[in-house]
Structure 1
Amino acid sequence: MPPSDSPEATPRAARFALPPLACDAHCHVFGPASRFPYAANRTYTPEDRPKEMLAALHRRLGLGRAVIVQASCHGTDNRAMVDALRSNPERYRGVAMIDDATPDAALREMHDAGVRGIRFNFIKALGGGPDMSTVHRAADRVRPLGWHMVLHVQGDGVRDMEGAIRGLNMPVVIDHMGRVDPAQGVAGAAFATLLDLLRDDRIWVKLSGVERMTRTPFTEALPFARALMRVAPGRALWGTDYPHPNLATPVDEMELLNLIPDFAPERVDRQRLLVDNPAALYGF
């Protein structure tokens, strides 16, 4: 299957009526490297996927809003993400990556551009996460801005970090359904921990990353998404994860979009997932 942003990609249509201003709550921009170089300590080097390509994808899918998440290949240099936010301030919000060296003035500038959260990766393949003292210092700096924390953890990492997540004292979003192993099933310990976390009204989850859990037609991932939607229908978000960094198999984002009725069959739940929930968290 050709990548969705390639000229030979086959046009497809959504199999359900998207609500107006539906949001892709997890997507990225990469480069262009000639203007926004990749971080020297990056663990991967992607092909450029600038803001124009992201906008074209959203037009094809029929999505009216997006949350652009800083990717690890750009490190804490958030310029490409912020530049994208400024290109459509009514419809874009952002999530940044920061460290102790990020100036307070930069935080205020990013807030004005539409950034509403910070993200930390705890994925070993992406270099692993920082110590929690770094995370807590960052949280203390952005909490007065009303921002939230996004955590990219995988499988048993959800269990390992349960106490730390509960102790952050701010809204926390768990990326990609916690990257749990579908072979363990919905009764697995990691997923059970995630469900228990979601009983705390400060914890949110993204129903994204199914293409990382299993291959098309992604049916193995559906019970997990359905369970999360049942437990936290008002704190679930959906995103494409475009352009799917570090994923070898091309993905058609329309296929991902068309999974939504399978785990949110009721119109009211799709309205929450795609419009109301991201609007509440990101201030659209």
Structure 2
Amino acid sequence: MDFAAQGRATPGWDSHVHVFDGTAAVAPGHYRPVHRPLADIEALARSRGLMHLVLVQPSVYGTDNTVLLDALRASRGRHRGVVVLGPSVSDAALQEMHALGVRGVRFNLVSPVGSGGAADTSVTFLDLAPRLRALGWHVQWYPRPQDLPVISALHASSAASGIPAVLDHLAGMHAGLPADDAAWWALADLAQFGAWVKLSGWYRLQAAAPYEALDNNIRKVASLFDGRMVWGSDWPHTSFAPSALPAYAGMFEPVLRALPGRQAEQAWGDAPARLYA
């Protein structure tokens, strides 16, 4: 995929990347990231005509969003961010983040330190909900399939009214998930509430390149979320050794193969422009 070669007037988006500072402190008992600065992913994305990035707070930094915020500051408005927060964050800090381009808060239900060590992410989410709504932010969930009923119930509550859900990595709908699993019903409910899905993280979903085992699940998700899907590379692919990273172009292939051209193009063009810009 080359967004620029399609003759689009609007630059495209990579809606899920991480940046790392090799000198920054990380959560104990977790992986030690390699130095991966903003300039590296900007150059890689630009080679495909993607000029906008969504920087997602990685689990190793917990609620210390310094690396991400510094990168947004350096980008001068080109990119957007999704942070990890605790309920004690000040209104002034939220306003500063918003001015830099933050548009969401992430809850990672997969990594043991991914939500900043919060014992109950539901409580933290509900505590933050009024302020997220006032800012117009969304909540990005990194779920397992079994988490979707809880997320659905949260977003059905009056406390979460008006706060969109964005579901990481195909909402966790992995290649081994049965077609009649209860998670599909919860996912359909979330779609009815206006949730979004990220087409990303293929190697996190019990699939190996070229990820054909996910084609049917991608199509099934697309039937529920048409127009509300955004593509992300998940660069720099922390599941892999630094010397064996998957090709950036390979992250487009499942979308191009599984979805018609209109849906695929929306996922790195019009849809993220609506969600983030």
TM-score between the two structures when normalised by the length of structure 1: 0.85
d(CA) in 1 for partners of 2:119, 2:250? 34
Following superposition of structure 1 onto structure 2, how do residues 26-175 of structure 1 map, counting pairs within 5 Å?
A: 26-33=16-23, 37-41=24-28, 43-126=30-113, 130-131=119-120, 132-167=122-157, 168-169=160-161, 170-175=163-168
Letter in 2 for 1:140: P
The C-alpha deviation readout for 1:165-209, integer Å capped at 9, x for no partner, is 3332211101111223312244432234213321222x1111111
Does residue 184 in structure 1 map to residue 177 in structure 2? yes
8 A contact 1:162–1:193 mirrored in 2? yes
d(CA) in 2 for partners of 1:173, 1:189? 19
d(CA) in 1 for partners of 2:27, 2:175? 34
Runs of 5+ consecutive residues of structure 2 not aligned to the other structure: none
Pair 90,127 (structure 1): closer, same or farther in 2 beyond 3 Å: closer
Question: Could you say what secondary structure the match of 2:64 adopts?
Answer: coil
Pair 232,173 (structure 1): closer, same or farther in 2 beyond 3 Å: same
8 A contact 2:62–2:84 mirrored in 1? yes
Pair 181,261 (structure 1): closer, same or farther in 2 beyond 3 Å: closer
* Residue of structure 2 equivalent to 1:239: 232
Per-residue deviation at 1:59? 2.2
Question: Could you say what secondary structure the match of 2:187 adopts?
Answer: helix
Runs of 5+ consecutive residues of structure 1 not aligned to the other structure: 1-12
Per-residue deviation at 1:40? 3.8
Per-residue deviation at 1:72? 1.3
d(CA) in 1 for partners of 2:219, 2:41? 27
Per-residue deviation at 1:44? 2.1
TM-score between the two structures when normalised by the length of structure 2: 0.87
Pair 188,254 (structure 1): closer, same or farther in 2 beyond 3 Å: same
Per-residue deviation at 1:16? 9.9
Does residue 262 in structure 1 map to residue 249 in structure 2? no
Question: Could you say what secondary structure the match of 1:243 adopts?
Answer: coil
d(CA) in 2 for partners of 1:84, 1:270? 28
Pair 207,115 (structure 1): closer, same or farther in 2 beyond 3 Å: same
Letter in 2 for 1:273: A
Does residue 212 in structure 1 map to residue 212 in structure 2? no
Letter in 2 for 1:154: R
d(CA) in 1 for partners of 2:155, 2:213? 27
The C-alpha deviation readout for 1:28-65, integer Å capped at 9, x for no partner, is 101142xxx13344622211111121212212333121
Per-residue deviation at 1:223? 1.4
Letter in 2 for 1:95: V
Pair 188,250 (structure 1): closer, same or farther in 2 beyond 3 Å: farther
d(CA) in 2 for partners of 1:141, 1:100? 10
Question: Could you say what secondary structure the match of 1:184 adopts?
Answer: coil
Question: Could you say what secondary structure the match of 1:67 adopts?
Answer: strand
Between 222-231 and 145-154, the greater mean CA deviation after superposition: 222-231
Of structures 1 and 2, the one scoring higher in RCO (CA 8 A, sep 6+) is 1
Question: Could you say what secondary structure the match of 2:192 adopts?
Answer: coil
d(CA) in 2 for partners of 1:45, 1:145? 33
Pair 207,107 (structure 1): closer, same or farther in 2 beyond 3 Å: same
